[in-house]
Amino acid sequence: MDVLELIDKLDDLIHNARAVPLTDQVRIDREAIYELLDEMRSTIPEEVKQARWIVKERQEMLAEAKREADRIVNEAREHAAREVSQQEIVRNAEREAESVIEDARMREREVRLGAEDYADEVLGTLEVNLGKFLEAVRRGRDRLQGKAQLEEEHRQAVIHDGELDMDGGHDE
């Protein structure tokens, strides 16, 4: 399941929680919260694994492009060495080798940039998902803290009213 879906489930669970009678508190199924948190913990590492896999694939592609370029350069050099006596052939081989090297460099650069863009996109998505998860947690905590604060103010008002009743309702 996607992290965003899990965040939405967490938000729904908090939003749809039953109110505790005569209080501003809500009743939340602790097991449901823990299940969602466990699912989030297992989903986030999977997305990180995907990003690492992309980086690894990129490195392998770059290594393969370099090996191919080295192989082509070596072939061109061997060919040029065999044709040393014929300077025109040698010049043509060197030009061809340079062209192949340039093509290989361009291909390697395109592959590298494509892999980096894809890795950046996956990491960006992960960053957004983590931000939304943290925001949902903050909203939940804020709701819980807001209700606790209202209870404390209510309790203080009751204590204050009780003190006034004990004094006979007279201010000194």
Tell me, what's the pLDDT at 57? 92
Task: Quote the pLDDT of residue 72.
Answer: 93
Could you tell me the residue ranges of all domains in the chain? Answer: 3-166
Asked if 1 contacts 126 with a C-beta cutoff of 8 angstroms, the reply is no
- Among positive and negative, which fits the CA dihedral 83, 85, 89, 93? positive
How much is the pTM? 0.34
Question: Three-state SS string across the chain, please?
Answer: CCHHHHHHHHHHHHHCCEECCCCCCEECCHHHHHHHHHHHHHHHHHHHHHHHHHHHHHHHHHHHHHHHHHHHHHHHHHHHHHCCCCHHHHHHHHHHHHHHHHHHHHHHHHHHHHHHHHHHHHHHHHHHHHHHHHHHHHHHHHHHHHHHHHHHHHHHHHHHHHHHHHCCCCCC
Cβ-based neighbours of 143, under 8 Å, separated by 6 or more: 14, 26
Residue by residue, pLDDT tens for the chain (172 residues) are 677 888 888 888 888 888 888 888 888 888 988 998 888 888 877 777 888 889 999 999 999 999 999 999 999 888 877 776 677 776 778 888 899 889 888 988 888 888 788 888 888 888 888 898 889 888 888 888 877 787 888 888 888 777 766 665 555 4
